[in-house]
Amino acid sequence: MHLPTLIVITLLTNLLIGFYLSILYRRRPKDKCFKYWALSCGCFVFGISASVSRGYDVPAFFSFFVADFFLIVTAVLVLLGLIRFSRFRFTKAKRQRSIAILCLMTLALFFSYHSPALVTLVGSLSVAMLFIAGAWLIRHSVFNEPIYTGTLQFIFILHSVVLIVQAALVCFHWDNINYSGLPDQAIYTLLSHVTLTTLTALLLPWLSFLKLERSLTIKSQRDGLTKLANRTFFFSQVERHWLQYPQVKVVLMMIDIDHFKEINDKFGHHVGDIALKAVADIMSKGLRSHDLIGRIGGEEFAVILYNIELDVAQQIANRLCNQVMKQMAVIDGHNINLTISIGMVQVLPARNQIHGAFKVADEALYHSKHSGRNTVTLGQLNEVSSE
Ligand SMILES: Nc1nc2c(ncn2[C@@H]2O[C@H](COP(=O)(O)OP(=O)(O)OP(=O)(O)O)[C@@H](O)[C@H]2O)c(=O)[nH]1
């Protein structure tokens, strides 16, 4: 492809992506990553435009030092955006070390711009190093989209390889490099460099949309106060599991806080909320990570214990009652003496007992309430028996 045309297309694409990212940043100023990535597109356009001037009668300070400096800043801004995006812990020590390395790169660039070969070597290796750091950063950050982060990591590594090849070509043709630019062979590495930068600029906003979509999905599935599954999500998960694993025995527990209205009336809703969160915490910590816990009403919870024997489930239910009684005696300085009542039933999903199971567990819970509360009642499909 005709090089000037490709460069013009790349510059225009980067300008458009930069403009788009700046609009995103204006709409969501909390997401600082967009600001850094928008600025990085701008710096890239400026850096490449400055380096294009190498074929003309432009001072080497501008066409080499300024151009390569802006390309280094481009990579730095991409990394800063990634740090913001992934909430990577960028400690003070790491920040100081990074600033020191950047100062060294700038100094090396400044002292080498009188030699076209040396400045190109320093510029290429600096940007390659920054992209290796980017790949490392992606690897050590908590991203939830393995395919896209894998692609991004691959692009970063490929980018570093391309720049290292460019540096090698410079070493190889050291004496042929003059102020009008790189040797012919390096044109391909330059092309790869601009293409990979454009790909990165395209992938980054895409990644952030996936992240936003995921966080909205999680919000729609969770109860805002306790962070447990909300009613809709809980029942959809139960149905899904019931259909997917019809042979797995499960135990369903319905859990209700005793005399919760009195706690609200006596101590206020604020204390009631703290108590709800504390009960949810006790359940989350006391159950296995694959069990499903949901807040299905104001002070009512439901739990599905998967693949469990009935006697073990009963022990767990009794333990929960005891833990709540002991740990919830005093909340926020008030003696609230909170307890819970539990109704439970064992179900074999294959027998299509879902709806009946909730009814029986509810009846068992009702039985617990009427037998003095702070107790567990085991229901059986078609009959209810107190423990
Ligand atoms: N603080 C707080 N209270 C809530 C919330 N959701 C529901 N409630 C309260 O929970 C109380 C439930 O009261 P009831 O249904 O009478 O039940 P109870 O007082 O626990 O009595 P028993 O269940 O019979 O032991 C009501 O006062 C609701 O206002 C919430 O998110 N926060």
In which band, very low, low, confident or very high, does the pLDDT at 340 lie, cut at 50, 70 and 90? very high
In which band, very low, low, confident or very high, does the pLDDT at 387 lie, cut at 50, 70 and 90? very low
Residue 109: is its pLDDT beyond 90? yes
- The pLDDT, as a whole number, for residue 191 is 73
Residue 221 lies in a domain: no
Residue 385: is its pLDDT beyond 60? no
Using most ligand atoms within 8 A of CB, pick from 264, 271, 332, 339 the residue to mutate for ligand 1: 264
Residue 78 lies in a domain: yes
What average pLDDT does this structure show over 127-146?
82
104 by DSSP, 3-state: which? Answer: helix
In this predicted model, what pLDDT tens digit does every residue of 17-27 receive, in sequence order? 899 889 989 98
Instruction: With beta carbons less than 8 A apart as the criterion, state whether 291 and 250 touch.
Output: no
- The pLDDT, as a whole number, for residue 384 is 44
| Residue nearest to ligand 1 atom 23, measured at CA | 258
What average pLDDT does this structure show over 297-320?
94
280 and 347 share one domain: yes
89 and 162 share one domain: yes
Instruction: With beta carbons less than 8 A apart as the criterion, state whether 356 and 381 touch.
Output: yes
**Cβ partners under 8 Å of residue 160, min gap 6:** 128, 129, 131, 132, 135
Instruction: With beta carbons less than 8 A apart as the criterion, state whether 77 and 40 touch.
Output: yes
What average pLDDT does this structure show over 48-66?
86
This complex has an ipTM of 0.95
Residue 226 lies in a domain: no
Residue 198 lies in a domain: yes
Distance 385 CA to ligand 1 centre (A): 26
115 and 209 share one domain: yes
Give 344 or 5, the one with higher predicted confidence.
344
119 and 263 share one domain: no
Residue 263: is its pLDDT beyond 80? yes
CATH number of the domain at 329, please: 3.30.70.270
11 and 70 share one domain: yes
Residue 182 lies in a domain: yes
Residue that has been written with the tokens 């590594």 in this structure? 157
User: What single string gives the DSSP state of each residue in 2-29?
Assistant: -HHHHHHHHHHHHHHHHHHHHHHHHH-T
208 and 246 share one domain: no
CA dihedral of 211, 135, 203, 186, whole degrees rounded to 10: 170
193 and 273 share one domain: no
Mean pLDDT, all residues of the chain = 86
Distance 233 CA to ligand 1 centre (A): 21
Residue 99: is its pLDDT beyond 70? yes
314 and 362 share one domain: yes
Q: Would the CB of 261 count as within 6 Å of ligand 1?
A: yes
**CA nearest 85: which of 47, 37, 129?**
37
User: Burial level of 310, CB count in 10 A (0-12/13-18/19+)?
Assistant: middle
- The pLDDT, as a whole number, for residue 194 is 73
Distance 256 CA to ligand 1 centre (A): 9
In this predicted model, what pLDDT tens digit does every residue of 152-193 receive, in sequence order? 888 889 889 988 988 898 888 887 766 555 556 556 666 777
Give the strand pairing for 300-306 and 330-331. Answer: unpaired
C-alpha pair distances (Å), 166 with each of 75, 186, 204, 292: 17, 6, 25, 54
Residue 309 lies in a domain: yes
Q: What are phi and psi of 301, to 5 degrees?
A: -125, 155
191 and 272 share one domain: no
210 and 250 share one domain: no
Q: Would the CB of 277 count as within 6 Å of ligand 1?
A: no
Q: Would the CB of 257 count as within 6 Å of ligand 1?
A: yes
- The pLDDT, as a whole number, for residue 342 is 97
The domain total for the chain is 2
Q: Would the CB of 207 count as within 6 Å of ligand 1?
A: no
Which domain, by its residues, includes 273? 231-386
205 and 311 share one domain: no
- Reading the block at residue 226, the tokens are 């306790």
CATH number of the domain at 155, please: 1.20.1070
In which band, very low, low, confident or very high, does the pLDDT at 108 lie, cut at 50, 70 and 90? very high
Residue 292: is its pLDDT beyond 50? yes
- The pLDDT, as a whole number, for residue 382 is 66
Residue 287 lies in a domain: yes
3-state helix, strand, coil in the chain (%, to 5): 70, 10, 20
Residue 351: is its pLDDT beyond 70? no
Residue 222 lies in a domain: no
CA dist., res. 321 & res. 263, Å (int): 18
- The pLDDT, as a whole number, for residue 183 is 54
What average pLDDT does this structure show over 244-269?
91
Measured on CA atoms in the order 156, 161, 162, 163, is the torsion positive or negative?
positive
User: Burial level of 68, CB count in 10 A (0-12/13-18/19+)?
Assistant: buried
